């Protein structure tokens, strides 16, 4: 006798939250994270989260800090709770009680152009090479690469249509001539293999009806870096960091890079100036313009 498993009913409050996120076109990953984080608060509270008070929020954040929850995780939970109290409950007074914790942002890992070429060359199949080439060549986030469909490649306007980027935003990404040529190679091969369809995913997973997952893309990057003898700790986002940094080093205006990356704030893009080493090398130090002569008789040891 086979017993069917009946899924637990979704509470009206949780459904309201889901509807609010769907209306704003949040990605499935963001929705999953928000539901998890709000559930974490409800567990701490011991009652439905819509019954929380300002004192409950204060105690929750104090408990998180004392238990050693990492700062990025704490701030992610704050984002989820702010959305919940502001949009779903219409309680902005409670949202204002949540405190984001300041923490120094680490400099991103950036590959040299040679390392990028080695990484792409170390992939084991054309599909993986094309997926990583899109991450670097168009500066896309890993979730954006995964969600691309064949129809998103606009060869006439030389654009990639990113339909649901971060925060559900739509934008166009650049499509270079060489990248288009590589994607056409992959289309031809994938079509021959029966996994590529005009209305299907640009990078299908093990089954052509599902896309290559972000976890699979991460694994491809790590394995390719290992095969290419790249010792830096890399992931799919490293290719996006490298795209932005290399453009900056080539003298591309930072506001153009902001648009290409889909950043809402220029400050986010400006962070790459800290790792653009070629840009720093191109600057002449004011000390070099002093033309100071070395002291007569001075030895290297002083």
Which positions are annotated as active-site residues? 141, 166, 237, 240, 263, 272
Q: Is 248 exposed, middle or buried (0-12, 13-18, 19+ CB in 10 A)?
A: buried
C-alpha torsion angle, residues 131, 134, 139, 143 (rounded to 10): -40
Q: Give the tokens for residue 270.
A: 């400006």
Q: Is 186 exposed, middle or buried (0-12, 13-18, 19+ CB in 10 A)?
A: buried
Q: Which of 50, 218, 55 is CA-nearest to residue 143?
A: 218
Separation CA 224–CA 121 (nearest Å):
8
Separation CA 86–CA 63 (nearest Å):
23
Q: What residues contact 278, with CB distance under 8 A and at least 6 apart?
A: 249
Q: Which of 159, 32, 20 is CA-nearest to residue 90?
A: 20
What's the start-to-end Cα distance of the chain, in Å? 91
Q: Which of 140, 148, 107, 131 is CA-nearest to residue 223?
A: 131
């Amino acid at each position: 006798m086979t017993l069917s498993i009946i899924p637990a009913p979704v509470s009206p409050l949780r459904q309201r939250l889901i509807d609010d996120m769907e209306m704003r076109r949040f990605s499935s990953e963001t929705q999953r994270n928000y539901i998890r984080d709000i559930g974490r608060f409800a567990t701490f509270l011991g009652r439905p989260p819509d019954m929380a008070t300002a004192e409950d929020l204060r105690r929750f954040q104090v408990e998180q800090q004392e238990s050693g929850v990492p700062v990025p995780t704490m701030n992610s939970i704050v984002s989820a709770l702010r959305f919940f109290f502001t949009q779903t409950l219409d309680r902005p007074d409670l949202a204002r009680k949540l405190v984001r914790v300041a923490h120094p942002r680490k400099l991103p890992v950036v590959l040299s152009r040679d390392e990028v070429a080695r990484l792409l060359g170390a992939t084991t199949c054309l599909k993986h090479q094309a997926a990583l080439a899109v991450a670097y060549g168009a500066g896309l986030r890993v979730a954006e690469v995964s969600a691309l469909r064949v129809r998103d490649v606009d060869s006439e306007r030389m654009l990639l249509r990113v339909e649901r980027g971060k925060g559900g935003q739509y934008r166009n990404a650049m499509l270079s001539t060489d990248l288009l040529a590589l994607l056409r190679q992959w289309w031809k091969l994938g079509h021959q293999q029966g996994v590529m369809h005009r209305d299907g995913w640009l990078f299908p997973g093990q089954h052509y009806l599902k896309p290559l997952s972000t976890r699979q893309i991460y694994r491809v990057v790590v394995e390719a870096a290992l095969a290419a003898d790249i010792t830096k700790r890399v992931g799919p986002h490293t290719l996006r960091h490298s795209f932005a940094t290399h453009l900056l080093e080539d003298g591309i205006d930072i506001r153009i890079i902001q648009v290409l990356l889909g950043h809402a704030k220029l400050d986010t893009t400006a962070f790459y100036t800290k790792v653009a080493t070629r840009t720093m090398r191109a600057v002449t130090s004011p000390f070099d313009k002093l033309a100071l002569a070395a002291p007569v008789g001075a030895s290297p040891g002083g």
